[in-house]
A and B are shown apart, each in its own frame.
Chain A
Amino acid sequence: MVSKHPNIDLLSEYATGGLTPAQNATISAHLHYCARCRDHVRSLEEIGGWMVEHSEKEPVSDNLLDAVLARIDASAACPTETEPVAPDLAMLPRSVQKLVPGGRADWRPLISSLEVAQIPCGETRFELSLHRIKAGGRSFQHDHKGLEITVVLRGSFSDGDGVYQEGDFIVREPGDVHMPIATQNEECVCLSACEAPIRLTGMLTRVLNPFLGFNPA
């Protein structure tokens, strides 16, 4: 049972397209498990539909429909292939599978009970990665220089503050210190977005990567 949810600010930024790719990935992973938040997002998207419906009509070129139909006909000839997914990813949400290059996670041991696989997502604000903690294993005690968002994808873990189940969405603020421990009987896989230690600010960020939000001062 999912008990930790993203707040309405994050859900609304998700619905309007205002999040970075890594943030977006964590919300989609949570939505995979959480019908309640999917409903919220659907409702928030209805406002977007209303905005489209009530936009001022801007005339399009006369030949635009023909151009679109020609491109549809051209693309029908080349079907796209879906990449096979490695067994360790098969049980994870589809949105996560699709982000892992080649459907194969590059697991690297950090300590004996913890492996990490980076997921490149083309942004400098958050680093996105998969974490796998062995059954009963400890992660390492760490604090946060920036925000850390974690979504439990498989199994469960606990720390000083509670027990987290599949789908739970956990936000850690800078300065929080904790040490996650996987539940005894099964390994735990999480998706995590960590704010990168180096923070860019100002318009330059937008130029370098349009997904980046301005860092609040």
Chain B
Amino acid sequence: MITAKPNSVNDSRVVMLAEGSPDDWSDLLVKVGEHQDRAAFARLFSHFAPLVKGFLLRGSNLIPEQAEELVQETMIKVWNKAGSFNRQKSSASTWIYTIARNTRIDWLRREARSRVDIEADDLYDTGEDNPSYSSLIKVRDTENIRAHIGDLPQEQLDVVTKVYYEGKSHSEVSSELGLPLGTVKSRIRLALKKMNVTLAKEAEG
């Protein structure tokens, strides 16, 4: 039920550093977007396809064949949308995360045989570029996450990893973990505050 594996998180960070830096992945994405560079795409694929598959498998009851289908769809969108990737505003892994998230949402909709054809990319289209979110904020966020995620109490890490890996609502997480909804929400709020990814004074709405 509880899927957090803080040790493997730390281990894979070491692997990540050995293989390439986030800037390299951004360079490759820009090459794909501007020049339809297949060699760059192949390198991105060899790095991210196994990560996306691992991300999807950890968070769901997908069988590996389904996960590979979703990896394919995700990577096709990476190719098609690479022109809209803005390295100032997003790291490559974050941009690919949003694509994988939306691909999973569309897959779940198809599995439920929904008669309404709404694509997650449309549901997430805010229609605006982000004038204020700068590379400075991006760097601040990634540094804060890197610095603090390992220090989160296990109970907060469990809930945070569950919502990201499984894409579930807070009520669903509450049911599945047998925790009151308020507890789930407060653990997430506390974790976000510790990672400084939300402005504390604006967290209440």
Residues of A within 8 A of B (CB): 5-13, 16-19, 21, 24-25, 28, 31-32, 35-36, 38-40, 42-61, 64-65, 67-69, 71-72, 75, 93-95, 98-99, 120-122, 206-211, 213-216
B96 with A35: CB separation less than 8 A:
no
A18-B163, A211-B109 known; A8 vs B175 contact (CB < 8 Å): no
Q: Is the interface of A mostly helix, strand, loop or mixed?
A: helix
B122 with A51: CB separation less than 8 A:
no
Contacts of A38 in B (CB 8 A): 126, 128, 130, 132-133
B185 with A9: CB separation less than 8 A:
yes
Contacts of A16 in B (CB 8 A): 101, 163-164, 167-168
- 19 A-B pairs in the complex with CB atoms less than 8 angstroms apart: A6-B205, A9-B189, A10-B205, A11-B198, A36-B132, A36-B202, A42-B90, A43-B137, A45-B98, A48-B101, A51-B97, A55-B51, A55-B52, A57-B15, A64-B49, A68-B76, A120-B116, A122-B109, A215-B171
Closest 3 CB pairs of A and B: A49-B94, A7-B205, A122-B116
B163 with A64: CB separation less than 8 A:
no
B72 with A67: CB separation less than 8 A:
yes
A52-B51, A68-B75 known; A45 vs B94 contact (CB < 8 Å): yes
Contacts of A54 in B (CB 8 A): 8-9, 12-13, 16
Q: Cβ of B95 < 8 Å from any Cβ of A? A: yes
Interface residues on B, range: 35 or more
Residues of B within 8 A of A (CB): 8-9, 12-13, 15-16, 22, 38, 41-42, 45-46, 48-55, 57-58, 64, 67-68, 71-72, 75-76, 79-80, 89-98, 100-102, 104-105, 108-109, 111-112, 114-116, 118, 120, 122-128, 130-133, 137-138, 141-142, 145-146, 149, 160-161, 163-165, 167-172, 174-175, 181, 185, 188-189, 192, 195, 197-199, 202-205
Cβ-closest chain B residue relative to A43 = B197
Minimum distance in angstroms from A188 CB to a CB of chain B = 20
Known: A38-B130, A38-B132, A67-B72. 10 other contacts (CB 8 A): A16-B167, A18-B172, A21-B123, A46-B145, A49-B92, A54-B13, A71-B76, A94-B127, A121-B118, A214-B171
Q: Is the interface of B mostly helix, strand, loop or mixed?
A: helix
Interface centre among A9, A53, A210 (most CB of B within 10 A): A53
Cβ-closest chain B residue relative to A51 = B164
A56 with B58: CB separation less than 8 A:
yes
Minimum distance in angstroms from B98 CB to a CB of chain A = 6
A28-B124, A42-B133, A47-B197 known; A53 vs B101 contact (CB < 8 Å): no
